[in-house]
Amino acid sequence: MKTRVAILISGRGSNLQSLITAAAARQYPAEIALVLSNNPAAPGLARAEAAGIPTLAIDHRRHGRDRQSHEAELHAALQSHAIGLVCLAGYMRLLSPFFVAAWQGAMLNIHPSLLPAFPGLNTHERALAAGVALHGCTTHFVTETMDDGPIIGQAAVPVLASDTPETLAARVLAQEHKLYPATLAAVASATLPAPAPAAALSHLRRV
């Protein structure tokens, strides 16, 4: 039986698309069962609709400053769709301890840098400014600290002398679109205790 996965997005959804495309293969161990967005105008929602995947826009602005009541609504939607794993894919909201704890060991994120380098925003600009020779992307389990948590997989790209933030971002994004589907497949087919202790994840680091 395939693991039922929800993808949380806020924007264009190119990583969502890579997961939808991978999950269309018969032998892929996960099924994209729901796409949620905090932003009703997220272009990624149309990608899910085109693939016949149920979507829900749960606008955080309706909840004012009450982050937890927004997340309670997200959580209820995940439960009512019998979701087993959550993938953040360009989801631009910080998550509160309540939601992180509810999905501990069952929520993944992709970040456009080789963590622990460059957590946060504008990673490509910062990598160029720092003069690193290698840049890339990371998949990890979500913990309370942003862009932290046990690393599952990484993909590196060389930084070229001619790179701009845009060219570097495009080279990293091409790797994200391979790394995230490979990571989700590895996690969905692994038997992970929940919550997953870091030691139990060591066999997943070579995705």
Which CB, 70 or 135, lies closer to ligand GRF? 135
Element (H, E) at 109: strand 107-111
Q: Work out how close the CB of 137 gets to ligand GRF at its nearest, in angstroms, rounded to a whole number.
A: 6
DSSP 40: T
**Is 111 annotated in the active site?**
yes
Residue type, 86: V
Q: Work out how close the CB of 27 gets to ligand GRF at its nearest, in angstroms, rounded to a whole number.
A: 24
Number of other residues whose CB lies within 10 A of the CB of residue 197:
10
Q: Work out how close the CB of 147 gets to ligand GRF at its nearest, in angstroms, rounded to a whole number.
A: 9
CA distances (Å), origin 67, targets 70, 96, 102, 183, 199 = 5, 7, 15, 28, 31
Cα 130 to the chain's mean position, in Å? 25
Binding site for ligand GRF (CB under 6 A): 11-16, 44, 89-90, 110-112, 137, 173, 176
Q: Work out how close the CB of 131 gets to ligand GRF at its nearest, in angstroms, rounded to a whole number.
A: 21
The residue with its CB nearest to ligand GRF is 90
Which CB, 29 or 165, lies closer to ligand GRF? 165
Q: Work out how close the CB of 9 gets to ligand GRF at its nearest, in angstroms, rounded to a whole number.
A: 6
Composition of the chain by helix, strand, coil, percent to 5: 40, 20, 40
Distance (Å, whole) CA 202 – CA 204: 5
Which CB, 35 or 89, lies closer to ligand GRF? 89
Which CB, 15 or 183, lies closer to ligand GRF? 15
The residues, ordered by sequence, that sit 6+ positions from 6 with a Cβ below 8 Å of its Cβ are 32, 33, 34, 35, 36, 77, 78, 81, 83, 85, 86, 87
Catalytic residue, candidates 60, 70, 111, 177:
111
Which CB, 16 or 186, lies closer to ligand GRF? 16
Distance (Å, whole) CA 124 – CA 14: 17
Annotated catalytic residues are 111
